[in-house]
């Protein structure tokens, strides 16, 4: 008997599968490569639809999308960033501090559009299926909407940069959010001159991708995979390929 997952009529074609992985591997957090070109409404609509098809706890769909093109609003968000970024720099000394301050960590005005994805913590009422024990599942759901948008954007040739160096309360005030609505992700969005091959933080020597092998455990935190485990072998072979791609 053929295995059902091989004969399933809705299987992705090889090309579709490659396309999905390509979006995953070539997605970047963009801050420095934005072009001013406006995003056509149909393209923006597709990105928001992709976000809106994320999984959510109890199908809560706690997200809203604030489409922000006002320079005035963006200037206020940039001020918020600058204030918080100065504070963040105090976490570092000496060379690490200079290195931190040299990083570009936002594209609020360089991108033609900002999108704030919020999480309405009260959506669906006090009882949401699946959210009884882990209350943060609404936030997790909203993160998945962000990732959907981020990947769809990559496939559309659009870069996204997540700015989290922001005081959330001030952001909520500027965006006039109701009490129950949490500004989960502030995103800079626009076409780009290029997608970098590596994360910008890696290219600038701030931090590199950890070897996946070191992050895989077996049946509990204390045990790693035996070297002879087929997955361990696969990861070990693969790691040489990935690291040469990443460096
Ligand atoms: C929740 C969250 C918050 C932030 C980020 C990401 C995420 C997931 N990242 C982007 C982050 O630095 C980047 O994802 C990693 O460096 C990996 O690079 P790629 O996304 O693979 O290009 C990010 N980048 C930045 O320049 N300023 C920021 O404030 C933030 N904040």
Mean pLDDT score, 214-236: 95
* Chain segment 28-48, per-residue pLDDT in tens: 999 999 999 999 999 999 999
Instruction: Average the pLDDT over 160-164 and give the result.
Output: 98
pLDDT of 190 reads 98
How high is the pLDDT of residue 126?
A: 85
CATH architecture of 27-200: 3-Layer(aba) Sandwich (3.40)
Concatenated DSSP letters of 125-152: -S--TT-SS-TTHHHHHHHHHHHHHHHH
CB–CB of 139/119 below 8 Å?
yes
CB of 114 closer than 8 Å to CB of 187: yes
pLDDT at residue 241, as a whole number: 67
Best of 164, 189, 198, 206 for a ligand 1 pocket test (most atoms within 8 Å of beta carbon): 164
At 130 the pLDDT is 87
Write down the pLDDT at residue 10: 79
Residue 197 Cα to ligand 1 midpoint, Å, equals 15
Dihedral pair phi/psi, residue 82, rounded to 5°: -60, -40
More confidently predicted of 133 and 243:
133
Question: Which is more confident, 128 or 231?
Answer: 231
Question: Is residue 132's pLDDT more than 90?
Answer: no
| Tokens linked to 117 | 């994805």
Question: What was the pLDDT predicted at 242?
Answer: 59
| Least confident among 111-115, 123-127, 232-236, 239-243 | 239-243
Indicate the angle between helix axes 14-26 and 137-155, nearest 10 degrees.
110
The mean pLDDT value for 193-208 works out to 94
Residue among 32, 103, 149, 162 whose CB has most ligand 1 atoms within 8 A, to mutate: 162
87 falls in which pLDDT band (50, 70, 90)? very high
Instruction: Measure 132 CA to ligand 1 centroid, in angstroms.
Output: 30
Domain spans of the chain, in order of start: 27-200, 207-247
Residues 6+ apart with CB under 8 A from 51: 63, 65, 117, 145, 146, 148, 149, 152
Flag whether pLDDT at 14 surpasses 60: yes
Q: What is the pLDDT of residues 172-183, one digit of tens each?
A: 999 999 999 999
Q: What is the pLDDT of residues 89-131, one digit of tens each?
A: 999 999 999 989 999 999 999 999 999 999 999 999 888 888 8
Lining ligand 1 with CB less than 6 A are 28-29, 31, 105-106, 161-165, 199, 201
Please compute the mean of the pLDDT values over residues 77-97 and round it to a whole number. 95
């Amino acid at each position: 008997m053929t295995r059902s997952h091989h004969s399933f009529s809705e299987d992705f074609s090889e090309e579709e599968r490659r396309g999905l992985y390509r979006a995953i591997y070539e997605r970047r957090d963009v801050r420095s490569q934005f072009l001013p070109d406006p995003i056509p409404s149909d393209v923006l609509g597709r990105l928001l639809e992709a976000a809106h098809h994320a999984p959510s706890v109890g199908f809560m769909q706690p997200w809203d999308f604030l489409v922000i093109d006002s320079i005035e609003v963006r200037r206020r968000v940039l001020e918020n960033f600058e204030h918080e970024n100065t504070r963040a720099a105090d976490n570092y000394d000496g060379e690490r501090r200079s290195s931190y301050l040299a990083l570009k960590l936002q594209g609020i005005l360089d991108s033609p559009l900002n999108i704030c994805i919020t999480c309405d913590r009260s959506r669906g009422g006090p009882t949401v299926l699946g959210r009884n024990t882990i209350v943060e599942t609404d936030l997790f759901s909203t993160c998945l909407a962000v990732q959907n948008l981020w990947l769809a954007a990559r496939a559309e040739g659009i870069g996204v940069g997540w700015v989290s160096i922001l005081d959330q309360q001030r952001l909520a005030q500027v965006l006039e959010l109701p009490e129950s609505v949490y500004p989960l992700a502030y995103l800079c969005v626009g076409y780009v001159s290029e997608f970098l091959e590596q994360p910008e933080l890696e290219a600038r020597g701030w931090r590199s991708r950890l070897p996946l092998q070191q992050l895989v455990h077996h049946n509990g935190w204390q045990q790693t995979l035996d070297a002879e485990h087929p997955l361990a072998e696969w990861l070990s072979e693969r790691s040489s390929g990935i690291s040469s791609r990443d460096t």
